[in-house]
A and B are shown apart, each in its own frame.
Chain A
Amino acid sequence: MSDAPAAQSPWQTVTITRIQKRTPRVTSFFLQPSRPFVYHAGQHVDVRLTAPDGYQARRSYSIASAPETGETIELAIEKLEDGEVSPFFHEIAAVGDEVELRGPLGGHFVWSDGDGGPLLLVGGGSGVVPLMSMVRHRAMRGSLVAATLVFSARVWDEVIFRDELIDLAERRDGFDLVLTLTREPARRPADHARRVDAAMMVQAMTRLPAPPKLAFVCGSNAFVTAAAEALIDAGVPAALIRTERYGV
């Protein structure tokens, strides 16, 4: 018999404490960890679901909340038709349910206010999630690092965190929001109604006081490829561009 403490599984049980619909296709799930959970803006977690016969499915989800928010972590999950895990969250998961989670994970697509800026954030659809964590972290720290978020969504009603982002931009504390809608006309003066391109990146950069120190790009593989190329064409050195691809 050994006195050594039992090795702790890297998985922990988390409880769903709140569910909030964000857009027609994206819902936020607020999770209460059972063990201390310390993370950086931009990191993700792995979520694991287990069927009665032992079959397991796991997927990665970025953290939308800021490290300063407290114990609860927010995930914002888009429902993919015919998917396995995202429809489970949308159709079955309820407040009080438990799922397994491990993390935080990822040490590259992260930003803390101490890393400085200016920052150029480019998100497509649910790819805004880790960027939202950075934007919230920046705001909660009272950071004055200049940051522009270019956020591409299909339509106005699919702009995840829209009201919160617009409120943050209206503080005029160095955070700036550029929305681009791919299937609807633009609504706000500085917004666009097309897919991201180099001209849009050039314009977004003119709103920063200096060239970006770091650019973060997140979304589907196709979006990240297009946006990263737009940034390079706009003159951002490849070495400053960090990407997170959701794979599909």
Chain B
Amino acid sequence: MVTRGFSSGRKPPTDTDARIPPGQYLEQGFPVLSAGPTPHVRTEDWSFTLKHGPRPIKKWNWAEFNALPLTKMTRDIHCVTAWTKFDTAWQGVLVDDILADAGIEPPTAFTLALGFDGYSTNVPTKDLTGGKAMVALLYEGKPITPDHGGPARLLVPHLYFWKSAKWLNGLQFTERDEPGFWELRGYHIYGDPWREQRYTNDP
């Protein structure tokens, strides 16, 4: 349906079309969205735990985690509130390298990302491995600020950005695909921006 009087003044140059998923627009800034107050997690208090169900597999403190191999990832990100930002530059530890350090293969097909604020979000394990996702520690070369999820956030750039959980403190392997915080509150269980899977009943 064409909206009377609305014109495409902001239409992005066609050479960027292929990078903007349906219903998204290009954003230059970096908007902040979250469900509650911003936790200020000190790196002294920070830890990261890998779990299988309730059982911890391995736990790292800040220094131990920073000693893992660091990888650079520059990716376009897509927020469900409809902005897309090109070429965001992150550095962190690939989920593959976390698993390698723990000496395990992924034990289940599903994972919950857990945050210090009690937030959780579910991601199929295969979307986290194979170089697809990392626990990011730096944004544009600097420590990630608290409002953007620092000290450490998940980065799963090929899914809507709520899946890239802020203030991350662990990954938990689950037997079933268990909806996380936003997924229980109306957002899509998988969240592929290219299929526009924003809300629960989207195909």
Give A residues with C-beta under 8 Å from B: 7, 10, 13, 46, 48-53, 55-60, 84, 88, 92-93, 97-100, 102, 105-109, 221, 225, 228-229, 231-232, 238-239, 241-243, 245, 247-248
Q: A84-B10, A221-B32 are in contact. List 11 more A-B contacts (CB 8 A).
A: A51-B3, A52-B8, A55-B8, A56-B23, A57-B6, A98-B3, A100-B3, A107-B185, A239-B36, A247-B33, A248-B31
Known interface pairs A50-B6, A56-B23. Does A245 touch B36 (Cβ–Cβ under 8 Å)? no
In the complex, which residues of chain B have a beta carbon less than 8 angstroms from the beta carbon of A221? 31-33, 147
Known interface pairs A13-B1, A58-B82, A232-B37. Does A49 touch B186 (Cβ–Cβ under 8 Å)? no
Q: How far is the CA of A71 from the CA of B185 in the complex (A)?
A: 24
Q: Are B39 and A49 in contact (CB under 8 A)?
A: no
- Cβ contact of B147, chosen from A88, A98, A225, cutoff 8 A: A225
B46: interface (CB < 8 Å): no
Known interface pairs A55-B11, A105-B199. Does A97 touch B4 (Cβ–Cβ under 8 Å)? yes
Closest to B39 in A: A238
Closest to A104 in B: B186
In the complex, which residues of chain B have a beta carbon less than 8 angstroms from the beta carbon of A93? 5
Q: Are A238 and B7 in contact (CB under 8 A)?
A: no
Majority secondary structure of chain B interface residues (helix, strand, loop or mixed):
loop
8 A Cβ contacts from B13-51 to A: 23, 25, 29, 31-39
Q: Are B36 and A99 in contact (CB under 8 A)?
A: no
Known interface pairs A238-B37, A248-B29. Does A50 touch B201 (Cβ–Cβ under 8 Å)? no
- Closest chain-A Cβ to B87's Cβ sits at a distance in Å of 20
Q: How far is the CA of A242 from the CA of B185 in the complex (A)?
A: 13
- Cβ contact of B36, chosen from A10, A57, A228, cutoff 8 A: A228
- Closest chain-A Cβ to B102's Cβ sits at a distance in Å of 30
- Closest chain-B Cβ to A57's Cβ sits at a distance in Å of 6
Give B residues with C-beta under 8 Å from A: 1-11, 23, 25, 29, 31-39, 81-83, 117-118, 147, 181-182, 184-186, 199, 201-203
In the complex, which residues of chain B have a beta carbon less than 8 angstroms from the beta carbon of A48? 23
Q: How far is the CA of A149 from the CA of B184 in the complex (A)?
A: 28
Closest to A55 in B: B8
Q: Are A98 and B1 in contact (CB under 8 A)?
A: yes
Majority secondary structure of chain A interface residues (helix, strand, loop or mixed):
mixed
Closest to A84 in B: B10
Known interface pairs A88-B6, A100-B1, A238-B39. Does A105 touch B33 (Cβ–Cβ under 8 Å)? no
Closest to A110 in B: B185
Known interface pairs A10-B201, A53-B8. Does A106 touch B186 (Cβ–Cβ under 8 Å)? yes
Q: How far is the CA of A232 from the CA of B146 in the complex (A)?
A: 16
In the complex, which residues of chain A have a beta carbon less than 8 angstroms from the beta carbon of B31? 221, 245, 247-248
Q: Are B37 and A108 in contact (CB under 8 A)?
A: no
Q: Could you pull out 12 A-B pairs where Cβ atoms are within 8 angstroms? A: A13-B1, A48-B23, A57-B10, A88-B5, A88-B6, A225-B37, A228-B36, A242-B36, A243-B36, A245-B33, A247-B33, A248-B31
Q: How far is the CA of A208 from the CA of B164 in the complex (A)?
A: 38
- Closest chain-B Cβ to A239's Cβ sits at a distance in Å of 7
Q: Are B82 and A59 in contact (CB under 8 A)?
A: yes
| Top 9 closest pairs, chain A to chain B, by CB | A107-B185, A55-B8, A247-B31, A228-B37, A51-B8, A92-B5, A49-B3, A107-B186, A49-B6
Closest to B82 in A: A58
Q: How far is the CA of A48 from the CA of B5 in the complex (A)?
A: 13
Q: How far is the CA of A51 from the CA of B202 in the complex (A)?
A: 24
Q: Are B35 and A108 in contact (CB under 8 A)?
A: yes
Closest to A109 in B: B35
In the complex, which residues of chain A have a beta carbon less than 8 angstroms from the beta carbon of B182? 108
Q: Are B6 and A247 in contact (CB under 8 A)?
A: no
In the complex, which residues of chain B have a beta carbon less than 8 angstroms from the beta carbon of A102? 199
In the complex, which residues of chain A have a beta carbon less than 8 angstroms from the beta carbon of B203? 7
Q: Are A99 and B3 in contact (CB under 8 A)?
A: yes
Q: Are B5 and A247 in contact (CB under 8 A)?
A: no
- Cβ contact of A241, chosen from B4, B29, B36, B82, cutoff 8 A: B36
Q: How far is the CA of A248 from the CA of B184 in the complex (A)?
A: 26
Most buried by B among A50, A109, A247: A247
